[in-house]
């Protein structure tokens, strides 16, 4: 077995694009997610969170898009074969904290086709940023600037619940073709709604599996094993199982949200 990939090394080319593009507007840059929660796996993304002191202009948006299209993906034009998920926020949009939070720029491989057609990602409210900001404050590696806890305010528990409720319909609707991610994200939402703690997807799944009926435990166990690279990640023929798990998890998540509210 080869050495585990070093997250900082693999993030370095993307971090260089960000620092070159954003210049003195960059206040802090953070690596979070699986890279710091348990190490990079075969299919792990490079999750980056950048805090800037002013909104990006179109020149910066295009430069970021061009750089990310070149470096991100399973078959990038250059650089490591890792999908990149980047969120850029203006600090004054998050401090003082308010809900829903506002993202200034978002890149992910699910948006690649739009970026290739010239999309530049405009500022927009993004409830999911509530969860991301919590993850960055709780556990992230500093690539530039001070620790995230010095830049970002704590996210109130009630707003994490609001974000989960807001994000459920779109997440479940996007299940076809993204089954593993949806199943694991539902597991993380469930644990967060119950405990207020944002775990990694693998840890959330491990927490829930012993509590589930056998048929739902099997779906979550398969998703976790695929995420960890332990089984071939093939979901053909599992649509009914995923739909059943999603409906079950949605109901339990809503029960937990109501109990927390």
| β 46-52/84-90 pair status | parallel
| d(C-alpha 105, C-alpha 257), whole Å | 29
> For residues 157 and 260, is the Cβ–Cβ distance under 8 A?
yes
Q: Is 85 marked active-site?
A: yes
**83 in Cβ contact with 45 (< 8 Å):** yes
Nearest to 81 by CA among 120, 36, 46: 46
With residue 240 as reference, give the H or E element that holds it. Answer: helix 239-260
Cα–Cα distance for residue pair 41/85, rounded to 1 Å: 15
The SS3 of residue 219 is helix
Please pick, among 10, 16, 85, 153, the residue that the annotation labels catalytic: 85
The residues annotated with a catalytic role in the active site are 85
């Amino acid at each position: 077995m080869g050495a585990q990939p070093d997250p900082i090394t693999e993030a370095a080319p993307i971090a260089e694009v960000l620092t070159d593009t954003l210049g003195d507007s960059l206040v802090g840059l953070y690596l979070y997610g699986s890279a710091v929660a348990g190490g990079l796996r075969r299919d792990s993304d490079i999750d980056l969170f950048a805090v800037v002191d002013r909104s990006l202009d179109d020149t910066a948006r295009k430069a970021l898009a061009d750089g990310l299209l070149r470096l991100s993906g399973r078959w990038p034009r250059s650089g490591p074969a890792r999908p990149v998920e980047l969120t850029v926020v203006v600090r004054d949009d998050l401090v003082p904290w308010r809900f829903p939070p506002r993202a200034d720029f978002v890149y992910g491989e699910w948006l690649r086709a739009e970026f290739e057609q010239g999309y530049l990602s405009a500022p927009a409210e993004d409830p999911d940023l509530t969860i991301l900001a919590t993850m960055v404050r709780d556990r992230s590696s500093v690539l530039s600037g001070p620790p995230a806890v010095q830049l970002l305010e704590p996210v109130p528990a009630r707003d994490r619940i609001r974000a989960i409720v807001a994000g459920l319909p779109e997440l479940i609707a996007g299940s076809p073709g993204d089954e593993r991610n949806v199943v694991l994200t539902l597991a993380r939402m469930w644990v967060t709604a119950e405990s207020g703690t944002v775990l990694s997807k693998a840890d959330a799944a491990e927490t829930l599996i012993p509590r589930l009926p056998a048929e739902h435990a099997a779906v979550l166990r398969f998703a976790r094993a695929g995420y960890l690279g332990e089984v071939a990640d093939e979901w053909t023929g599992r649509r009914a199982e995923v739909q059943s798990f999603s409906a079950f998890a949605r109901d339990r998540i809503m029960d937990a949200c109501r109990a927390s509210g």
